[in-house]
Amino acid sequence: MTDAAKTNQQLDLFGARCRELAGRVNAGGMAFVEAIDLAYSAAIWSGLCDSSGDDAVQKILADAFMNVRRKVRS
């Protein structure tokens, strides 16, 4: 497997995990900020930010969490 293919596979897996976290937020099982922090910390820890770039990681996060319902403060 080439380095590019491995990086793409890692980005795909990261995207799937981010979508799972977004689903947990929508179901009320996790706070929005907690989910984002967890995902971004995992990207840093795994070296994904270094190998793919911070912009790519943040784009995946934004795409995954785009439709998460946010609670409105009253």
Average pLDDT of the segment spanning 27-41:
95
Q: Is residue 71 part of a domain?
A: no
Task: Judge whether 35 lies within some domain.
Answer: yes
pTM: predicted TM-score of the whole model, two decimal places: 0.87
How much is the pLDDT for 2?
86
Cα distance between residue 43 and residue 68, in whole Å: 20
Asked if residue 72 belongs to a domain, the reply is no
**How many structural domains comprise the chain?**
1
Range of the domain at 34: 3-65
- pLDDT, residue 28, reads 92
pLDDT, tens digit, for every residue of 40-70?
A: 999 999 999 999 999 999 999 999 999 998 7
Is residue 8 in some structural domain?
yes
Task: Provide the Cα torsion 72, 42, 57, 49; round to 10°.
Answer: 140
Cβ neighbors of 61 (< 8 A, separation 6 or more) are: 18, 36, 39, 40
